Chain A
Amino acid sequence: MTVTETAAAAVQNAVEGRVASHLHPTGSFAVAEHPVPTGREEIWRFTPMKRLRNVHGDAELVAGGALFQWNTPEGVRAELVHGEESQALRGVSGLVPNTRYAARVLAEAPSTLLVDVAANTEVHEPVLVDVKGQSADPAEAGHVVLRFGLHSKAVVVLNHTGSATLAQVVEVHVGDGADVSVVSLQDWADDTVHLTQHEASVGRDASYKHVAISFGGDVVRMDSNVSYRGPGGSAELLGLYFADAGQHLEHRLFADHNEPHTKSNVVYKGALQGQGAHTVWVGNVLIRKVAEGIETYEQNRNLVLTDGCRADSVPNLEIETGEIAGAGHASTTGRFDDQHLFYLQSRGIPEDEARRLVVHGFFNDIVRRVGVPELEERLMATVEAELAKNVSKA
């Protein structure tokens, strides 16, 4: 869908003042101002609240569950900080929590995992942070801050594995002119519940790439949000997910175009297989009145491999100015394209091999765009392993 001139005119005639996004009400740091969600709220309506172990409500959040490990390439400082230093980092991305769990993480997390990339530094190897869950009980709170200095260039990979019940906030501060990638892998064990908000503030003329890759866990819900601190910033939000029987994988995106001449491009692709596999993708874009000349496009594609799956896909676009360069979205959810399979089979390729090629092809462009060669092979191997489950069940 492209915004037409008629729509643009209608928008110009609309309310003059600043309108808060309908989907993202003003937040608060005070936990008490966030009632426990019931599941009937717009932002919670797809999430299976009963499976969250009350981490969205009042579950006790205990310190020191998950084990952290990281490397520190030259120009990078990475450490677990406590006390005042940790407190000072809460909200560094401009985040004002709009969920109870995020407010609780900022209020209760005992420490902050800080990755600091110095200004004018180009880091040549990815900063790999392993977050290894030790047990699904008790629940814990995690606060992560990724701070990229002016004109820096770096890639940070957060690799989540093991069993956990984790409420997490990842704050990303992208300095002016910086060029950064943040990759978050959710490769959890089957019993993990993971609520996470990734909040990024993109500086003037900076490039931010965020990649969400979700394979494991019982319930994973990620809110990946972006706002801008100046004109010329661009955000590429990519996602790849593969839901098996009984899994709930939810990704919500919010590109808040609060500065002129900013860009956002969202591409999420997912596959589903098995009874009760459920994926949710909600893509929100807000183009504020001040944000003239912006460009945004969001798309979500789902490939349903078996019966019994459910993929919800909801693109939302709120536009408060008609002076934009481009805005659009696309969403498709479908089964295998019989024409693809027929063409491949007509060249002698057996059906299961043809299916494998098509699924590989489906994910291939996302995997290539991750831009971390170390990960590409692992991602394809994981897709392969997921497909093998399906073939052996069939």
Chain B
Amino acid sequence: MSTLEIRDLHVSVDTEDGPKEILKGVTLTINAGETHAIMGPNGSGKSTLAYSIAGHPKYTITSGTVTLDGQDVLAMAVDERARAGLFLAMQYPVEVPGVSVSNFLRTAKTAIAGEAPKLRTWIKDVNTAMERVNMDTTFATRNVNEGFSGGEKKRHEIVQLELLDPKVAVLDETDSGLDIDALRIVSEGVNRFKENGDKGVLLITHYTRILRYIKPDFVHVFVDGRIAEEGGSELADKLESEGYAAYVGAGAAGAGA
């Protein structure tokens, strides 16, 4: 049973005008078996939360803690976090020229498992994971994300999620830019991952439509670097009909719903 605990997290980025605070005290606990959705308008700091958990060097943690089963995640290097059991499916997966998908996947699996996977079963596992998300297995010989369409990049993230089998997965707008078919395929992948055991899922999204496929246990509304409201999946329904107006701009003055 794993628990990812985020306590009063403050994060800033460097800008031309000096450091700018993006996260202004985020507290969130994700237990194994739970799916949390973080929803919010653009610029509310959702992606910053995802990248901060993963350890992207662009973001500076100014205060607060992140722990995975009591271990200090913020003290770990990026690769150590992944080996501890965290996974970030990125909104914009990076192209890595000259590195083949198969080499990349095998190297990552070896790093995370601490030993090289058995060749015979590994190839089968990779092919199965790819076929499940409707990716042609010839993608294995292509360079990582190079020339992939937006949808193919997202499906490749799900292939990695299934193969690397982390304890907690953070999905950063995995649904953005996907058509309905791709959205269904990606969602099925996330659901398979959830069913695979006691997994924590932190699903970051701007839209409610992915929540028709992946049922959240908790919904958190993110506004201006903080959680403005929390609830169950019914909160997503409310956002679906009313949008974020109640939380931003004029909405704050009472002109919302």
Contact = CB atoms under 8 A, between A and B. Distances in A.
Contact of A339 (B94, B103, B160): B94
Nearest to A362: B98
Interface stretch (B25-33, B41-49, B105-113): B105-113
Given A340-B96, A360-B99, A346 B88 contact: yes
A343 B90 contact: yes
B97 A345 contact: no
Contacts of A360: 98-99
Given A348-B111, A357-B107, A343 B93 contact: yes
Given A354-B79, A361-B143, A347 B98 contact: no
B104 A357 contact: yes
Contact of B94 (A340, A361, A362): A340
Contact of A361 (B57, B90, B98, B112): B98
Contacts of A348: 79, 82-83, 108, 111-112, 164
Q: Which 10 A-B pairs have the closest CB atoms?
A: A361-B98, A348-B82, A364-B98, A347-B108, A343-B94, A345-B78, A348-B112, A348-B111, A361-B99, A345-B79
A349 B108 contact: yes
Most buried by A among B54, B87, B144: B144
A380 to B, nearest CB: 11
Interface string A296-324: 00000000000000000000000000000
Contact of A349 (B56, B79, B88, B94): B79
B180 interface: no
Most buried by A among B56, B88, B90, B107: B107
Contact of A347 (B57, B97, B103, B111): B111
B77 interface: yes
Contacts of A344: 96, 99, 104, 107-108
A332 to B, nearest CB: 12
Interface string A353-374: 1100110111111000000000
B104 A362 contact: no
Most buried by A among B78, B97, B103, B108: B78
B111 to A, nearest CB: 4
A41 interface: no
A343 to B, nearest CB: 4
Interface residues of A, number: 23
Contacts of A365: 97-98
Contacts of A361: 96-99, 143
B98 A363 contact: yes
Contacts of B112: 347-348
Contacts of B83: 348
Interface string A189-202: 00000000000000
B79 A350 contact: yes
A104 B84 CA distance: 65
B235 to A, nearest CB: 30
Most buried by B among A345, A350, A354, A360: A345
Interface in B149-189: 160, 164
A295 B93 CA distance: 34
Interface string B39-78: 0000000000000001111000000000000000000011
A84 interface: no
A340 B143 CA distance: 12
A358 B107 contact: no
A346 B93 contact: no
Nearest to A347: B108
A346 B99 contact: no
Contacts of A339: 94
Contacts of B77: 345, 351
A342 B112 CA distance: 16
B111 A353 contact: yes
Nearest to B111: A348
B134 to A, nearest CB: 22
A349 B107 CA distance: 7
B40 to A, nearest CB: 23
A342 B108 CA distance: 13
Contacts of B55: 346
A40 to B, nearest CB: 39
11 contacts: A340-B96, A344-B99, A344-B104, A346-B82, A347-B79, A347-B108, A348-B79, A348-B164, A360-B99, A363-B98, A365-B98
Given A347-B164, A348-B108, A348-B111, A342 B57 contact: yes
Interface in A51-93: none
A350 B80 CA distance: 8
Nearest to A367: B98
B164 A357 contact: no
A361 B142 CA distance: 12
Interface string A267-295: 00000000000000000000000000000
A355 to B, nearest CB: 12
Most buried by A among B54, B90, B97, B98: B98
A338 interface: yes
A363 to B, nearest CB: 7
Interface in A35-49: none
Given A348-B112, A349-B108, A350-B111, A358 B56 contact: no
Given A349-B79, A361-B143, A342 B94 contact: yes
B78 A346 contact: yes
A383 to B, nearest CB: 12
B99 A347 contact: no
Nearest to A343: B94
Given A342-B94, A348-B111, 12 more contacts: A342-B57, A343-B96, A343-B144, A346-B79, A346-B90, A350-B79, A353-B107, A354-B79, A357-B96, A360-B99, A361-B96, A365-B98
A340 B56 CA distance: 12
A65 to B, nearest CB: 39
